[in-house]
Amino acid sequence: MKEPEIRKLDVFLETILFSEGKVLDKPLLKCAVAVVIKNPLAGSYQENLDELSEYGEYLGGYLTKKAIEKMHIDAEEIESFGKACIVGVNGEHEHAAALLHPPLGAPMREALHGGKAIIPSAKKIAAAGATLDVPLLHKNAMLVKSHYDAITIRIPDAPRPDEIVVAVAFANGGRPNARVGGIKASEIKCINGLD
């Protein structure tokens, strides 16, 4: 685990109170927390991506704890999660994979005190100010249709060409007025991460 050089930290907190003509019984709280870090591998091909994976291991816990703090709720109240990266244009797609895939998930689950489902992810190479749709699904069962969602974020000045934006996102419930059927969150068995 290694702490990266963080240029900035951005928090996006959405509270959805009203949808389709009615006030929601429970406001839907969605939060994405992103850091902008220097990409130590920008500009050259490196076979070994371990340095980025070490950053990922640090950021999984750090970003998740920050999101829980900003949502002002208990970790157990979080129902869905997701993660995503934008690599600045001097980096490569695989840099995002090194950050997100081997290491980021375990410390996220640890900070959430659970989470059996796969953490959905998105990644791209883009210029500063690009939007990033961080996918969301139910933390314990990826077939729960009501919780398929995303939160869209954008940082006007990031990533610079030699930077990476790393984001995690959480929600305290499914989509407002979800009604496309499938397994309900209240019916999941919470064993295999699927249903």
Partner 1 sequence: MDLIIRKQVVIIDEVRSEIYRRLDLPLVKCASIAVVKNPFLDKVIDDFSGYTEYGEKLGKILLDSALKALDVTEDKIQSYGKAAITGIDGEQEHGSALIHVGFDTPIRETIKNTYSLIPSSEKSAGPGCSIDVPLHSKVAVKVRTHFDAMEVWVQDSPHPDEIMVILALAQGSRPFPRVGGLLWDDVKNFDGMS
User: Reduced to 3 states, what is the DSSP secondary structure of residue 9?
Assistant: strand
b/e burial code for range 140-174 (CB count within 10 A of at least 16 → b):
bbbbbbbbbbbbebebeebbbebbbbbbbbbbbbb
65 versus 154: smaller Cβ distance to partner 1 = 154
Which amino acid is present at 171? A
Q: How far is the CB of 45 from partner 1 (least distance, A)?
A: 23
Which tokens hold the place of 117?
């489902």
Binding mask 2-21 for partner 1 (x = CB under 8 A): ---xxxxxxxxxxxxxxx--
Q: How far is the CB of 83 from partner 1 (least distance, A)?
A: 19
Ranges within 103-162 binding partner 1 (CB under 8 A): 131, 152, 154-156
| Whether 188 contacts 146, CB under 8 Å | no
Distance CA 136, CA 120 (A): 6
Site for partner 1 (CB under 8 A): which residue of 46, 51, 70, 101? 70
18 versus 114: smaller Cβ distance to partner 1 = 18
Distance CA 101, CA 10 (A): 22
64 versus 140: smaller Cβ distance to partner 1 = 64
9 versus 190: smaller Cβ distance to partner 1 = 9
Which tokens hold the place of 25?
């019984």
Ranges within 18-37 binding partner 1 (CB under 8 A): 18-19
Report the relative pairing of strands 22-38 and 149-154 from DSSP bridges.
Answer: unpaired
| Whether 121 contacts 100, CB under 8 Å | yes
| 64-72, 81-89, 116-124, 165-173 -> range binding partner 1 (CB under 8 A) | 64-72
38 versus 101: smaller Cβ distance to partner 1 = 38
73 binds partner 1 (CB under 8 A): no
| Residues lying near partner 1 in the complex (CB under 8 A) | 5-19, 38, 69-70, 72, 131, 152, 154-156
